[in-house]
Amino acid sequence: MNPKACLEHLPEPAKRNVLMWCPYSSVIALGKTCTTWREFIHVPNQNLLIKRIMVKFGDNSFRLQVGSSHTSGKLQNSDLLSVQYQQLARDCGVTYENFSYRRQKKTWIEGGDYQDLFVKDLKILRKLLGNSTLENFEVDCETLQSSTRGRELKNQFEGFLKTVTDIWGPQGIATKSLRMKFMNEHQAAKILSHTVPNTLERISFLPMDVAGISSGGNRLGLSVLSVLPQWKNAKFINLTNFLARSTMDPILYFESVLVHWLFFEPQHLRIAMEEFVSGRCLTKNFTILCKQIFTSIELNLSTLGEAVHVGKRYTWYYHTKSPGHVVELTLVESQKISLRMIRGEGIKHGANVIHFPFSSPHFFCFR
């Protein structure tokens, strides 16, 4: 047999078998050992179980986090590897951190470019994934402190997004869950549009500002996002942190909304409403604007309880678990629906506060 026990010379079936048992951290480590392994790993569809990919943008640094799972007997072990690529002067520092083993290792590459190294590794990952669907994809933007370089950083972030989406190509990122931290709606739409329609089950939006600079002066909404096909079939939409600026009410834009006696359409709106009324929604107030609200009058709005009715405007007040607070539900026919938590004394004269007639548990509360 071979006198030199060199992994480089393993036959292909054995290599494939070894990879099957390796967590991603080992796969990427093997890929960095020699050309033979690197080329072997570049072959798509190695059937490696990559569950989660997170790409993170920072000032002169990118981070790639990969969560994989590998079978050990009958058990599935999860493994999380984080690789940070950082530019310092002319050199590039690459830090590997394996959460399973709590090991951290930093290497310096003289004259290396952090962006090139990031792109190389992301390309490997993309190939490893083949056509499989990820459990979770995250695009994150670290809190950027430099207000003077705000515009420059925004441009860098745009470039970063382009790099990531280009690697996936026109077929898009197949993922069940998308979590994204972005600076403006346009960027969020760009990320979302690069996911494969009908695969997303959960979307988390985390809008952010760069060092207090507002997002181009526009109110943060979902007018672009909400019309994308990727958004339509998602079952869970997390609108966390939509009150980034305390003065602003989050506004959701829809082409059309149907208000029915027990549910709202589109479905994700109903979930948002249910989460709001059951106190699970982190957004304390939100307004839904749409071109048209279909309210079948024959459906009988009275099922929502006794309303204060002025012209096309209906207002309901519901009890909450928060002392002194009520939920105000306003519906303006064909225009908007809004839900907000107000103090009890703010209710309209003559209106009654009632218990919410559907959705169990029937309570509202501040979180």
Partner 1 sequence: MSSTEQGTSSAAPAEPTTAPESAAAPEVPESFYYVHGKDKVVHKVSAGALQHSALIHGMISNLGYTEEQAKANPFPFENIDGDILQMVVDWCNQHKGKPTPPEDTNLPKQKEKLFDLVLAVNYLEIKELLTYCCKQVAMMVKGKSPEEIREIWMIPTDAEDEAAEKEAKKRAGKEAAGETAAAAGDAK
**Residues making contact with partner 1 (CB under 8 A):** 1-2, 4-8, 10-11, 13-14, 17-23, 25-26, 29-30, 32-35, 37, 70, 73-74, 96, 98, 100-101, 103, 105
48 versus 258: smaller Cβ distance to partner 1? 48
What is the spatial distance between Cα 253 and Cα 222, in angstroms, rounded to a whole number? 6
13 versus 323: smaller Cβ distance to partner 1? 13
What is the spatial distance between Cα 272 and Cα 280, in angstroms, rounded to a whole number? 9
Provide, rounded to whole angstroms, the least separation between the CB of residue 62 and partner 1.
19
Q: How far apart are the first and last CA of the chain?
A: 67
Residue identified by tokens 């979902």 is 222
Is there a cis peptide before residue 266, judged by omega within 30 degrees of 0? Answer: yes
Residues ≥6 apart with Cβ < 8 Å to 1: none
What is the spatial distance between Cα 344 and Cα 327, in angstroms, rounded to a whole number? 9
Provide, rounded to whole angstroms, the least separation between the CB of residue 97 and partner 1.
12
Residue identified by tokens 């403006």 is 184
4 versus 355: smaller Cβ distance to partner 1? 4
Closest CA to 6 of 36, 29, 39, 41: 36
Provide, rounded to whole angstroms, the least separation between the CB of residue 103 and partner 1.
7
What is the spatial distance between Cα 304 and Cα 345, in angstroms, rounded to a whole number? 21
8 versus 116: smaller Cβ distance to partner 1? 8
Q: How far is CA 278 from the centre of its chain?
A: 22
Provide, rounded to whole angstroms, the least separation between the CB of residue 27 and partner 1.
9
42 versus 260: smaller Cβ distance to partner 1? 42
Provide, rounded to whole angstroms, the least separation between the CB of residue 109 and partner 1.
12
Provide, rounded to whole angstroms, the least separation between the CB of residue 148 and partner 1.
38
Tell me the CA distances in angstroms from 190 to 74, 156, 158, 198, one per residue in order.
40, 15, 10, 17
25 versus 86: smaller Cβ distance to partner 1? 25
